[in-house]
Amino acid sequence: MKEEKKQKTNQKLKDLENNISSAHKETMTTNQGVKINDANNSLKAGERGATLLEDFILREKITHFDHERIPERIVHARGSGAHGYFELYESQKKYTKAGIFTDTTRKTPVFVRFSTVAGSKGSADMARDVRGFAVKFYTEEGVFDLVGNNMPIFFIQDAMKFPDLIHSVKPEPDREIPQAASAHDTFYDFVSQTTETLHNHIWVMSDRAIPRSLRMMEGFGIHTFRMINEEGKAHFVKFHWKPLLGVHSVTWDEAVKLHGADADFHRRDLWDAIEAGHYPEWELGIQVVPETDEHQFDFDLLDPTKLIPEEMVPVTRIGKMTLNRNPDNFFAETEQVAFHPGHIVPGLDFTNDPLLQGRLFSYTDTQLSRLGSPNFHEIPINRSISPVHNNQRDAQMRMTINKGKTAYFPNSLGGGCPYLAKMSEGGFTSYEERQDGKKIRARSESFSDHFSQPALFYRSLTDWEKEHVANAYSFELGKCTYDHIKERMLWLIHQIHEELAQKVADNLGMKVPSDIQKPINRAIGADDDTQKNQPGKRKEYLKESKALSQTHIKVESIVTRKIAAIVAEGFDSNEVEAMKKALEDQGAQLMILAPHGGEVTCHQNKKHKVDAALMTTESVLFDAIYIPGGKQSMQQLEKNDKAKKFINEALKHCKAIAVNGEGEKLLDSTYAKDFKDDETIIINKEPDLFIKAIAKHRNWKREKEVAHIPV
C-alpha cells in the first residue's frame, strides 16, 4: 500500500510539472490575441487615480467573467432576503445633503439580502465563508444600494484580480469539487502568492465566517466613500451595521453538523424570527475622516484590504434598520433583486478605490447577464419609489408604456421634457475631484503593507478565538495536497504572528520555512521594476482593537434563542411551565423534545404537544438544554442514547445546561457529571440563573476541558 501511494504521489507531481512546463510556453493574451504585460492592475490616472474606461483589458476580463453563469449569480448565489425600514437618529447635514441622512422624519423602506459568497444556489448555509450584507434603500431621491459584507475588508485591492480570486475559490474545474469551501489547492495556491488577501483571509479563518445567525453578524460597506454637504465640502466615510442582538458564532464542529441537520439553518432562522415578530435590528454607524486627514494614517484609505480601527476613528451610530417583513415570493424578490454600488443619491459619491471603481462597471454587466435586459430596474423589487422619467426606451421586458413622440433631448415637440434638474432641485453632481496623472498599470506603494492589519486582528482576539483561528488554518491547509503551497502559507502566517504559524505547522506535522526563495506576492506586472509592490514588513501602529473581537461586542440578551426541553412520559410539567414562562418573558423559545412525536403525558396525566422527536432533530439546532424532573421520565431518558448525546454535545459546544429534580440523574449519566461546578451548568436553581447563562452565549472557559468528549 505504501509503495502504491508513493507511485500515485510521484505521478501527481509529474503531472504538475508537465502542466507547468506546458504553461511556460504560453504567453497571456486578450481574446483578440494581444499579449498582456500586466494582468493584475487596471489602467488608472496615476497610481492612486481613477480607473479609466478605456481599459479594454479590464473590460474584456470582467465582461467575460460576469457572463460565465446563467442565470445564477456567479458569487453570492445563495441568499436570504427581508423587507424593513431605516430611521435616522440625528441629522448628518454637516457631512452630507442626502435626505436619508439629514431628514429624521423619514421612514425609508429597505430590502436586505444576506448571502454566502463561494457556494452555488443549492449549497448549505453553514459553509465557512464571507457573508454578503446588501441593503437597498428606497429613498425619496432615488435608490441607494449599500453593497457590503459581514467583514470590513476584501481579499483584493484591484478589480482586475476579482475573476482570479473567484476562479481559485470555486470548485476546481477538473472535478467540480469542493462545493462552497475554500479548503483546497487552487484557493491556497492563489492566496499564498497574492499577499494582499491575507487580511480578509484571517477574518475568514476566524469565527466571523460561521455566524450563529444572519441576525447576529455585523455588516460593512468595505470601501471608503464620500459624503458631500450642501456647501460642496467632502468627507471620507465608511459604513458599519451593528446588530442589536450582538455578534455571535457557532463552533466549527457545530457548523459541520448543521450541514446535515439543517442545510437551511440561517435562512430558516431569519424567516422564523420575523414571522414570530422578533424583528432583527441593526444600527448604522459611520466613520468620518476629513479630506485633509487622508494621508494621516499608516495605511491607505483607498485600500479595500484595510480597515480604520475604531480606536483611531470612532464609529458614530446615526440610525437604525429594522427588518419586519418576509418576502412574498423568493424568486420575484430575493432572487431578482439587483444591487449595484453605483446606485447612489445626491450627497454621496465614490473614491478612487480601484476595487470599487471596477465594481461600478461590473455590477451593471452582471445584471444584464442575470436578468436579461437593461430594464431590470422595472422589476418590482428594484423599482425606485421616486418618479422615473428619461428617454430610455424599449428593450426586452419593458414594463413602462411611454406616451408621446419624443424620446430625445433636447426637444421642443415634447415641451423640453423631461427637463434637467438644477442643483437646487436635487440634481446629482459628481464631486469635483482633480484627476492628474499618467496612464499607468500600477499600484500605489501605500497599498503594499499586507501584514500589519492581519497581525492587529490576531492580536486583538481572545485566547479561545485565537485557538479557533489556528484550528481553521490547520483544517483548511490540511485539505491541500501540495507541500509547496502549504509551506508558502506557513511562511506568510509567520509574517503575521510567529505563535500562530507554529501552532498551524505543528498540526500539519511540518516546519515553518525560514525563507521562501521566489517572490511571494504575484500581484505585480511582468517588469522587474515593480518590485516596490512586494509586501512591506509588519508594523505595529496599534497594539489591539477590542472592536475586532466578538468577545467585546456581545449583548446580554436571549431574545429568539431556542432552548430544548428534553422530556419523556411522566415529566414534571410544573417545572417545565415555570421555565417556559421565564424564558418566554425574555423573548426566548422553549421547545418540547421527547423520544417520540405527537403528545407526551406529564406527571399530572395531562397531554402536551411534542415539538420534535429526538430522532428527528439535533442539539446543534438549539442554544441551550433544559432537563426537568420526573422519576418516570428519567427512567426512560437514562436509557435513551440520543438524549445523552444532546447533553454531551451541548457540553462540548460550551452551551448552558439546566436541570431540575430527578433531571440530575440524566446529567450524571453523561460527561457533564464532571462539570457541575461550571457557571453555566445550572442545577436546581432559579430560572434567572439559567437565563444569565444563556445570555453569555458560550462558556469558552470550558472548551479545552471538554475537547476530549467524543460526540
Rounded to whole angstroms, how far apart are CA atoms 596 and 579? 22
**Which H helix or E strand runs over 484?**
helix 483-496
Rounded to whole angstroms, how far apart are CA atoms 300 and 286? 18
**Which H helix or E strand runs over 252?**
helix 252-261
Give the phi and the psi of residue 600 in degrees, each rounded to 5.
-130, 140
Q: What is the DSSP letter of 332?
A: I
Name the packing angle between helices 162-169 and 354-371 (round to 10°).
60
The three cell numbers of residue 217 are 453578524
Concatenate the DSSP letters of all residues of 21-42 into one string: HHHTT---B-TTS-B-S-SS--
Give the phi and the psi of residue 665 in degrees, each rounded to 5.
-65, -40
Concatenate the DSSP letters of all residues of 595-626 into one string: SSSSEEEBTTS-EEE-SEEGGG--GGG-SEEE
Rounded to whole angstroms, how far apart are CA atoms 497 and 486? 16
Query: In the chain, what is the greatest distance between 2 CA atoms, to the nearest angstrom?
Result: 90
Q: Is 149 a catalytic residue?
A: yes
Phi-psi group of 461: left, alpha or beta (phi > 0 → left; psi -120 to 50 → alpha; rest → beta): beta
The C-alpha angle 368, 370, 376, rounded to 5 degrees, equals 55
Catalytic option among 40, 41, 83, 149: 149
Rounded to whole angstroms, how far apart are CA atoms 579 and 189? 53
Which amino acid is present at 511?
K
Compute the radius of gyration of the chain from its Cα atoms: 28
Nearest to 240 by CA among 228, 226, 224: 224
Give the phi and the psi of residue 643 in degrees, each rounded to 5.
-65, -40
Q: Is 389 a catalytic residue?
A: no
The three cell numbers of residue 172 are 476546481
The three cell numbers of residue 147 are 453593497
Give the phi and the psi of residue 40 in degrees, each rounded to 5.
-120, -15
Which amino acid is present at 194?
T
Catalytic option among 40, 41, 76, 603: 76
422: CB partners within 8 A, 6+ apart: none
Q: Please give the distance of CA 522 from its chain centroid, rounded to a whole number.
A: 26
Q: What is the DSSP letter of 52?
A: P
Contact between 646 and 566 (Cβ < 8 Å): yes
> CA–CA distance from 221 to each of 79, 224, 579, 677 (Å)?
18, 8, 41, 44
Contact between 360 and 342 (Cβ < 8 Å): yes
Exposure string over 43-73, b if 16+ CB within 10 A, otherwise e = bbbebbbbbeeebebbbebbbebbeebeeeb
> CA–CA distance from 584 to each of 459, 580, 620 (Å)?
39, 6, 21
> CA–CA distance from 706 to each of 420, 485, 591, 651, 654 (Å)?
68, 33, 26, 7, 8
| Chain length of the chain | 711
Q: C-alpha dihedral over 53, 59, 62, 64, to 10 degrees? A: 150
Enzyme catalytic residues: 76, 149
